[in-house]
């Protein structure tokens, strides 16, 4: 008798477990169907938003983008819009702060810095510049510092930029014009650059430095 009761209890327990499994699978099935439906709608909205950006439909993009905040490709969509609206400092900064190390964040920063430089927004340029190996970017940064009344700091940093065995980019000309007319260009630096250029067989550059040396 006790054995029958025990077996009945075991069967009930097994049935409960099976029911729970079926219920969980059912709930998950409904959840995933709902999620898939939302994701498909977001995909369609994403494609439409891309078309709106290309067409310059700003009100349409702003309206539809609010429903795409959780969409996996929303970051790329934001980049596409912001690269065409480089005057939106606040939104660009928010984008950069949220994903500073991503490829699109780096691309947007470069475009934004070029825009800021072109429009003479020196303080904003300096505040958002990141160290770069590019001579163009180094010159632009120091020129922005110079324009922002940090002349001594800018010309001191230019000494390192100027000390090279190769000609510098045209973008450096405004900064170099101020530098070569200042006391920051010393006879020692002229001689060091001459030696670097001669060693690298950049003879035209070496001769130009020799001329400067002879004239001082």
pTM of structure: 0.75
Q: Is residue 191 part of a domain?
A: yes
Q: Give me the residues of the chain with pLDDT under 70, please.
A: 1-36, 100-101, 203-216
Indicate the angle between helix axes 74-82 and 58-65, nearest 10 degrees.
Answer: 160
Give the pLDDT confidence score for residue 198 in this predicted structure.
80
pLDDT of residue 204: 66
Q: Is residue 1 part of a domain?
A: no
Report whether 137 contacts 111 (CB < 8 A).
no
CA nearest neighbour of 53 among 22, 74, 35: 74
3-state helix, strand, coil in the chain (%, to 5): 80, 0, 20
Domain-embedded: residue 51:
no
How many domains would you assign to the chain? 1
Residues 6+ apart with CB under 8 A from 59: none
Residue 32 is assigned to a structural domain of this protein: no
Which residue in this structure is represented by tokens 């998950």?
28
pLDDT value of position 102: 84
What the block records as the tokens of 194 is: 């001459």
In a domain, 124, yes or no: no
- Residue (of 29, 65, 17) closest to 45 by Cα position: 65
- Its domain, for residue 170, covers 134-216
The pLDDT value recorded for residue 175 is 97
């Amino acid at each position: 008798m006790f054995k029958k009761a025990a077996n009945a209890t075991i069967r009930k327990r097994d049935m409960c477990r099976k029911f729970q499994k079926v219920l969980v699978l059912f709930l998950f099935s409904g959840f995933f169907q709902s999620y898939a439906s939302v994701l498909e709608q977001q995909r369609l909205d994403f494609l439409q938003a891309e078309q709106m950006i290309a067409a310059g439909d700003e009100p349409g993009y702003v309206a539809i983008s609010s429903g795409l905040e959780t969409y996996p490709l929303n970051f790329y969509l934001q980049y596409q819009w912001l690269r065409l609206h480089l005057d939106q400092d606040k939104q660009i900064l928010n984008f950069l702060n949220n994903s500073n190390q991503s490829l699109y964040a780096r691309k947007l920063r470069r475009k934004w810095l070029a825009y800021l430089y072109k429009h003479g927004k020196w303080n904003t340029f300096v505040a958002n510049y990141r160290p770069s190996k590019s001579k163009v970017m180094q010159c632009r940064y120091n020129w922005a510092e110079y324009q922002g009344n940090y002349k001594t700091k800018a010309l001191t940093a230019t000494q390192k930029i100027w000390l090279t065995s190769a000609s510098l980019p045209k973008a450096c000309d405004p900064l170099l014009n101020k530098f070569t007319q200042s006391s920051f260009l010393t006879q020692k630096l002229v001689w060091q650059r001459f030696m670097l250029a001669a060693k690298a067989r950049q003879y035209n550059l070496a001769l130009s430095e020799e001329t400067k040396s002879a004239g001082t």
